[in-house]
Structure 1
Amino acid sequence: MTAPLLDLHRLSVRFGAFQAVDELSLHVQPGEVLGLVGESGSGKSVSMMALMGLIAAPGEVRAETLRFGGRDLLALPPAERRRVVGRDVAMVFQDALTALNPSYTVGFQIEEVLRHHLGLRGAQARHRALELLQQVEIPDAVNRLKAYPHELSGGMNQRVMIAMAIACHPKLLIADEPTTALDVTIQAQILDLLQRLQREHGMALILITHDLAVVAELAQRVAVMYAGQLIESGAVPDLFEHPRHPYTQALLAALPEHNRGARRLSALPGIVPGVTDRPLGCLLAPRCPRAQARCGTERPPLVHQVRCFFPEPTNAHPT
């Protein structure tokens, strides 16, 4: 196996007393698509923002290893790390309208990325910005360059964000719930666009999503997070066919196609723990149907890519 493009080991993010990310370890191979899933509050977005260097005080970020493309990001001066991350790692945020600056045209904002990271200016920058809008399939791209974000639809703004993200030919693209605020038809178009761009550019892609059906269709591997911890990871479709962690099983059981004929969707009771209700033992124990005495007092380690004292046996078939 080739060396991973991204290698995170024991990444932690803390906001005061709240442990938002708890010793997360992940790796992504060049050109791989990784699905990062879990409920809201599980630490998916925060962990990727920590990689991007976007966690501001009072947030505290620590990691044992944070390597990208063979370079130790922790050892780089802040300015050099920003250059590497801004050029080689890009992130598409879930709400494009708030991520874009309402005071500038979309063309100006794309050109600003090109000026800062590639040194392009004037006609060169405008030509490249036009090419990028055409790549993300925005119609009438020449006139769209002159538009402000509020003059474009949500789907168009998301395409502009994707254009900015791929402007410098990144090796890794992080898409954070890229279809959350869009209607179903536009969601499918944006996902198809991301898939096409990932293949054409040979990028690695981390897709942060609640939608397991999307992960099953687009990703090669999936990592499941809960309350800041990685609780299970594996290849697609192996993890979907034979989930071992009770939380992964609950997520899959809640899919509509697994509830045909039922009066209500299957659901896991309770909520992700916050600052004041974080359990002493396994973080899922208060919600877990299989919890035993040990689960209430001890934190399970991640063993063979599953964090559970009593995981489903590898040869078991889910019901």
Structure 2
Amino acid sequence: MTQQNTPLLSIRNLSVEFGSTSKPFRAVEGLDLTVSQGEIVGIVGESGSGKSVTMMAMMGLLEGQGRIVADELSFDGKNLLTISARDRRKIVGKDIAMIFQDPMTSLNPSYTVGYQIMEVLKVHQGLRGGALKARALELMELVEIPAAKTRLEAYPHQLSGGMSQRVMIAIALACNPKLLIADEPTTALDVTIQAQIMDLLVSLQKERNMALIMITHDLAVISEVAHRVAVMYAGQVAEVGEVPGLFRHPVHPYTEALLASIPEHSKGARRLSTLPGIVPGQYDRPTGCLLSPRCPYVADRCRQERPGITTYDQGAVRCFTPLFAKEAV
């Protein structure tokens, strides 16, 4: 169910550019997104769609690398566009936490995992001494790491991928964040461990009533755990809708193609369903709709104009003739 209270996170008309100002590459363009307390929002799309960049821009992790512009970028009533760097550091890592894609490269190999958990607790909660170590141990046990007391003294290379991911979750949860961002949290793990990590994340989200943004390629995961889903393509939101409605009746051609590519939907067919072509890059972006070179429903207008976002009773879509309009013709 969609939460009805004032959004915890509100992003309106966000754009992120890289490169020179004369020839910029717009990695994110005109993005709108809201997330409420206790809500799970999935963000899906092919690699290069701008999913991770959007969240890193919101957290202020791209300063000095990209140019960020938005009409609104607010979290828990605070304006993230005008907030000072000092005040932002009080929020990021405490009220907003992120689990990055690869735990094996996100953890510092030079320090024990216990030290890395305790560092967060020192900075944001001011814990010291025995209370600090006790809280670190409590977090290790919370994420179900066996022999947690012993593993506090372990270095990242001494842990498996699944254990390292649990340490990353412990670090993210250390300060009881209001918003947790999980960026492909199961990418490098085998199927059994993936299921365990997902069950752990969802269980902790419900227990703490956190907002959770799940960035993933796995549509099956989103269909099972999310309240809403935003489908991104080439830096734009193509469609936003509630689960399970979006999975039953996609209204954007790209969403339809993503769902059709799930192997279960191709049972009995000789080949898996695919969408020809690739996501446009910096130098091959079409003039009109960014999906137009790949879209099976493309029309002349699509090749000449960029569609804006249109809201309807079930969500929002960026398309001149969404699928429900085609059905009505």
Indicate the TM-score class for this superposition, using the shorter chain for normalisation: over 0.9
Query: How far is 1:157 from its partner?
Result: 0.2
C-alpha contact (below 8 Å) 1:242/1:316 kept by paired residues: no
Q: Say whether residues 1:232 and 2:243 are aligned partners.
A: no
Q: Say whether residues 1:148 and 2:155 are aligned partners.
A: yes
Secondary structure of residue in 2 paired with 1:285? coil
CA RMSD of aligned residues (A): 1.2
Note the alpha carbon deviations across 1:185-225, whole angstroms, 9 max, x for none: 00000000001110111101000000110000010000000
Distance 2:196 2:275 in 1: 31
Query: How far is 1:86 from its partner?
Result: 2.1
Note the alpha carbon deviations across 1:243-301, whole angstroms, 9 max, x for none: 00000000000011101111211000000000000011000000000000000110000
* Number of the residue aligned with 1:169: 176
Query: How far is 1:310 from its partner?
Result: 1.1
Residue number among 183, 187, 190 corresponding to 1:180 in the alignment: 187
Query: How far is 1:58 from its partner?
Result: 3.1
Distance 1:309 1:83 in 2: 43
Gaps of 5+ in 1: none
C-alpha contact (below 8 Å) 1:39/1:210 kept by paired residues: yes
* Number of the residue aligned with 1:276: 283
TM-score, length basis structure 1: 0.98
Percent sequence identity over aligned pairs: 63
Distance 2:32 2:125 in 1: 32
Stretches of 4+ aligned residues off by more than 6 angstroms: none
C-alpha contact (below 8 Å) 1:118/1:168 kept by paired residues: yes
Distance 2:294 2:81 in 1: 37
Distance 1:227 1:116 in 2: 37
Distance 2:307 2:197 in 1: 38
Q: Say whether residues 1:94 and 2:101 are aligned partners.
A: yes
C-alpha contact (below 8 Å) 1:35/1:219 kept by paired residues: yes
Distance 1:20 1:75 in 2: 22
Choose 9-18 or 160-169, whichever is displaced more: 9-18
Distance 1:254 1:181 in 2: 21
Secondary structure of residue in 2 paired with 1:115? helix
C-alpha contact (below 8 Å) 1:282/1:299 kept by paired residues: yes
Q: What is the aligned length?
A: 317
Gaps of 5+ in 2: none
Distance 1:40 1:56 in 2: 22
Q: Say whether residues 1:120 and 2:127 are aligned partners.
A: yes
* Number of the residue aligned with 1:2: 5
Equivalent residue letter for 2:10: D
Distance 2:234 2:28 in 1: 8
* Number of the residue aligned with 2:260: 253
Residue number among 15, 21, 31 corresponding to 1:12 in the alignment: 15
* Number of the residue aligned with 1:197: 204
* Number of the residue aligned with 1:298: 305
Q: Say whether residues 1:38 and 2:45 are aligned partners.
A: yes
Distance 1:207 1:2 in 2: 20
Q: Say whether residues 1:214 and 2:221 are aligned partners.
A: yes
Secondary structure of residue in 2 paired with 1:86? coil
Secondary structure of residue in 2 paired with 1:217? helix
Distance 2:151 2:75 in 1: 35
Q: Say whether residues 1:133 and 2:140 are aligned partners.
A: yes
TM-score, length basis structure 2: 0.95
Distance 2:228 2:325 in 1: 17
* Number of the residue aligned with 1:308: 319
